[in-house]
Amino acid sequence: MKYINDFLKEKFGERVLKICIDGGFTCPNRDGKVGASGCIFCSEKGSGDHLFRKPIREQVESYLKSDRSKRTNKYIAYFQNFTNTYAPVDELKRRYDEALIDDRIVALAIATRPDEINEEVVMLLKSYTEKYYVWVELGLQTSNEVTGKIINRCYSNDDFIRACNMLADNDIDVVAHMMVGLPNETFDDVKNTLEFINNQRVSGIKIHSTYVVENTKLAEMYERGEYKPISYDEYMEELVWIINHLRKDIVVHRFSGDPPKDILIAPKWMTHKTFIMNNLKKEIGKN
């Protein structure tokens, strides 16, 4: 398994840390453009629960002043929550530039939905590649279109393929997001999703374990007994399978969720990230 920290260390000669940024965006699946209620698992903060909506420059400056930042001299400006390409391009440029205020920032990472990637956005992102390592994180979650409807993602596999190709054609790395433990999904669905990802022009993957947080549709399903979270053993079995069958050049950016403890409903085992990581290393070592 090629892990992101090692990949970045090799690329930049030292550790590279992420500055997680709330870019002040919303999402077309929340404001009515393609949907109003969002993906069923998405929290009120658009899956960025540790972030605060402050001016972008302030967020970057405050990170760079923090003790945490002292562990290295190189950083990634990471636009994390909601849909970070969902604005006119001049506005996108203004927001990205507001983050790129320090020469120690060597990379720009943008998380978004595949249906919000278009020619103009790709050209803007490409313009940053001269100075920065740029990657785009695209939601997929599953290649099962029926599950796609259940989770209300409101885009299709074809949207993902189209966005992926447009970015790859312009030398922008794509990191696919995949989820394990989605409603009604079996191990076979997970295998199919991985096969789908392996066949796309992606260079990285984020594997998320599905978790239930307060004030989401998934929480309502859980309360009504319509959704049963994946057990730790099932998750570990599926995760080990994924890692062992992932295309060898794909870099692993993440292999568990990072649920905010204060609003997490289930499953509670998911808060033990170090435990999961250590057990995964042991399990992979066995194969």
List 74, 113, 206, 254, residue binding ligand SF4 (CB under 6 A): 113
Q: Fill in the per-residue mask, 52 to 91: x = in contact with ligand SF4 (CB under 6 A), - = not in contact.
A: ------------------------------xx--------
- What is the C-alpha separation between 168 and 52, in angstroms, rounded? 32
d(CA 175, CA 137): 5
193 lines the binding site for ligand SF4 (CB under 6 A): no
Binding mask 144-183 for ligand SF4 (x = CB under 6 A): ----------------------------------------
Candidates 22-30, 54-62, 161-169, 244-252; binding stretch for ligand SF4 (CB under 6 A)? 22-30
Give me the least distance between CB of 69 and ligand SF4, in Å please: 27
The alpha-helical segments, DSSP class H, found in the chain are 4-12, 56-65, 89-99, 119-128, 145-150, 157-169, 187-198, 217-223, 232-245, 273-286
Burial 95-106 (b: 16+ CB within 10 A, else e): bbebbbeeeebb
Q: Count of CB atoms within 10 A of residue 282's CB?
A: 11
For ligand SF4, which is the closer residue by CB, 106 or 151?
A: 151
Q: Do 190 and 242 contact (CB within 8 A), yes or no?
A: yes
Concatenate the DSSP letters of all residues of 88-131 into one string.
Answer: -HHHHHHHHHHH--STTEEEEEEEE-GGG--HHHHHHHHHHTTT
**Among residues 30, 45, 206, 217, the one that binds ligand SF4 under rule CB under 6 A:** 30
Which one of 35-43, 127-135, 190-198, 270-278 is the stretch in contact with ligand SF4 (CB under 6 A)? Answer: 35-43
What are the beta bridge partners of residue 77? 19, 108
Q: 120-139: which residues touch ligand SF4 (CB under 6 A)?
A: 139
Q: Of these, 8, 47, 218, 240, which contacts ligand SF4 (CB under 6 A)?
A: 47
CB 71: neighbour CB atoms within 10 A?
9
Residue 268, SS3 per DSSP: helix
Identify the residue among 16, 17, 39, 92 touching ligand SF4 (CB under 6 A). 39
The residue within the footprint of ligand SF4, chosen from 22, 29, 128, 160 (CB under 6 A), is 29
**Residues 182, 208 contacting (CB under 8 angstroms):** no
Q: Which of 42, 60, 122, 125 touches ligand SF4 (CB under 6 A)? A: 42
**CB within 8 Å of 1: residues ≥ 6 apart:** 243, 246, 252, 284
**216 contacts ligand SF4 (rule: CB under 6 A):** no
Shortest gap between Cβ of 132 and ligand SF4 (angstroms)? Answer: 23
- The site for ligand SF4 (CB under 6 A) is made up of 27, 29-30, 38-39, 42, 46-47, 82-83, 113, 139
